């Protein structure tokens, strides 16, 4: 756990494991991230459908962020595994710190796949998308 991930998040006081994956901000590496997502979700006994939703959700979040990533920078993904779910924060350095639009089809799909979704801007215009998926959570239609 790094200093950045050591900050407690709301509802995440029972973190079992924390994993950080850092790779070039290039879509060629997303298969590695999808595999890591699936493996970590399987450790929490997510169903196959939930695992696939998370894989697609992480891929969609990355696609939204890679479009504005500064060339030559890294895509950072932080996974926090809790007793009943997983929090995934994907972030990149950007030129202007522009948040993803929330009224787009992509955001709607992301929200449907991941459960809870949020976005924020941190230091140095680092834009993050945070997904929170709970095991067995029933999504409202």
Range with lowest mean pLDDT among 48-52, 75-79, 103-107, 117-121:
103-107
| Mean pLDDT, the chain, whole residue set | 87
**SS3 for 76?**
strand
Q: In what order do the strands lie in the sheet with 74-81?
A: 17-24, 74-81, 85-93, 126-134, 116-121
Please tell me which residue, 1 or 49, carries the higher pLDDT value: 49
Within 8 A by CB and 6+ apart from 45, the residues are 135
Q: Which CATH architecture has domain 18-134?
A: 2-Layer Sandwich (3.30)
Structural domain boundaries of the chain? Answer: 18-134
Residues 129 and 106: beta-carbon distance below 8 Å: no
Please tell me which residue, 89 or 13, carries the higher pLDDT value: 89
């Amino acid at each position: 756990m790094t200093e950045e991930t050591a900050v407690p998040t709301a509802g995440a006081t029972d973190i079992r494991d924390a994993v950080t994956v850092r790779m070039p901000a290039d879509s060629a590496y997303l298969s590695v991230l999808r595999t890591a997502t699936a493996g970590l979700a399987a450790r929490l006994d997510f169903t196959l459908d939930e695992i696939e939703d998370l894989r697609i959700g992480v891929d969609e979040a990355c696609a939204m962020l890679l479009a504005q990533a500064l060339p030559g920078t890294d895509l950072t993904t932080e996974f926090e595994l809790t007793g009943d779910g997983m929090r995934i924060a994907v972030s990149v350095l950007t030129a202007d710190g522009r948040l993803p639009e929330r009224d787009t089809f992509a955001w709607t799909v992301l929200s449907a796949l991941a459960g809870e979704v949020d976005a924020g801007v941190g230091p140095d215009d680092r834009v993050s998308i945070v997904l929170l998926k709970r095991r067995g959570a029933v999504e409202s239609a």
